[in-house]
Structure 1
Amino acid sequence: MAVSKLVKYLLFNFNLWFFVGGIGILSFSTLVKINKAAFQITDELLPAVNLLIFVGAMTMAFGFLGCCGALQESRCLLAILFKGLLVMFLMLLSVGVLGAISRTASAQEIVKEHMKDLLPLSEQPQDFQVSFQIVEGTGFCCGFFGGHHDWGNAKAVPPSCNCRDFTRNCTVMEERIIYATPCMTYYMTWLDRVSVTLMGIASGFGILMILGMIFSSILFCQLRDGKKSFFLSF
């Protein structure tokens, strides 16, 4: 059975996309981890981010091996590619599960309980307060659960709570106009979007990996049958 050139070059193109996609996943997930405060990444989301970093690195490696295996028609490299894609597919499935779990009410309650330990906010380390004030300015919110009360007292409420967009929900506090919406609402909306993004990435690459496994299996079988035919001709 002759090796199909169509399958061969389709597999090469898939692996080229894996390699490029791996660079994208690795770059984005590393950026997110380095700038945890800017992306509001909590300890609950770090496992998914770390898993994406690992998957991105492995995708690059197996994408390169797959390109070489397809061009050189190497059964060894194709076998490694298939096993690697299977492992990465299971890992991406885990990312999707983590993203789905983070959207459930139970996970949200865990986040709430974790944040309750940080009250009052004015007694937390300075770097945490600065990071949270960035969240308040970005999300047009103040405090976490109880609005400005989460800062402990009126004097401790930072300027990030000052209402600058009067189309938002604002209230008056001792001659100051501040945001009335707690940041919990903003945070859960953002968390839901991140979860959807993670599941979308996992689903998209999962489909590509399934196709890659199919094409690598076909090419591997064609090479095996071709080798058998070669020996039988003598």
Structure 2
Amino acid sequence: MMDCTSVMRNYSRYLLVIFNFFFALTGILIISIGASVKAYYNEYESFLDEKYMYSSDLLIVVGVIIFIIAFFGCCGAMKENVCMTTTYSSLLIVVFILEILVGIGGIVLKSKTRDVVENALITTMKEYDNPKYNETTALWDQVQNQFQCCGVMNYTDWMTSNSTDHKLPISCCPIPTGATGVMTCNQDNAYKLGCLDKFTDYIEGHATTIEGVGIGLAVLQILGILLSCYLSKQIRGDYETV
């Protein structure tokens, strides 16, 4: 009959294989989330700091590493190879640290988002309608249309800006379906809310995603670290006994 230690080792091995199967799936999920967040951030790149791009890039890198590490975990568990399981445990610890850093980065970005967005909106507002900054004009129109907002705090910001000769951009007003001809926008039909709060909430939401994925998976990963360390110890013990 198998002794208790052998039974526990077998359970740990199979549990580690199952864990790594789902671990590989989480790697794919992280890559997808990182790519999606990066796409959202790239859409408004002119309004954001480069650190937002780096955070999503790091999430993608972590996802790729996790997917590769899962291979070592499965092979090491099935073959009961002490070298592979030890390497696997070490790599898991490295990824664990990276995920914590990603989570902390998400928290830091989230706390600074409002200031970053406010400074960017105020600065770029002066570039609106300037032929040199067509991209900025298009981005402002996109933000105001998408979030149904006008100006930074409200539509009066455009009155004090030197970018449009104190006129409101057409994107500050809802455009009726099927409307044709020259459209105008004034304070009576302009969106009453500014873009700062709505746009900040949008960016913070994706920063929260990075934060949650990083810290959440790091906590889950502790199980894999414990299992691999236990299996390595048992395998090493068998070699020493032999």
TM-score (normalised: structure 2)? 0.80
Distance 1:199 1:33 in 2: 14
Distance 2:187 2:23 in 1: 57
Residues 1:8 and 2:24 are matched in the alignment: no
Q: Which blocks of at least 5 consecutive residues in structure 2 are unaligned?
A: 177-183
* Match 2:26 to one of 15, 21, 30: 21
Output the aligned Cα RMSD. 2.7
* Match 2:61 to one of 54, 59, 62: 54
Shift of 1:83: 1.4
Q: Which blocks of at least 5 consecutive residues in structure 1 are unaligned?
A: 166-171
Distance 1:6 1:163 in 2: 62
> Does the CA-based 8 Å contact 1:143-1:151 persist in structure 2?
no
Distance 2:231 2:100 in 1: 25
CA offsets per residue over residues 99-119 of structure 1, 9 Å max, x none?
211232x55324423443323
> Does the CA-based 8 Å contact 2:113-2:204 persist in structure 1?
no
> Does the CA-based 8 Å contact 2:30-2:59 persist in structure 1?
yes
* Match 1:79 to one of 62, 70, 86: 86
TM-score (normalised: structure 1)? 0.82
* Match 1:129 to one of 131, 134, 137: 137
CA offsets per residue over residues 175-234 of structure 1, 9 Å max, x none?
76111211111122123322322222122211221111000000000100011112xxxx
> Does the CA-based 8 Å contact 1:102-1:108 persist in structure 2?
no
Partner of 2:174, secondary structure, is coil
Identity %: 24
Shift of 1:93: 0.9
Residues 1:113 and 2:137 are matched in the alignment: no
Partner of 1:125, secondary structure, is helix
Give 1:169's aligned residue.
none
* Match 1:160 to one of 171, 177, 180: 171
Distance 1:190 1:197 in 2: 11
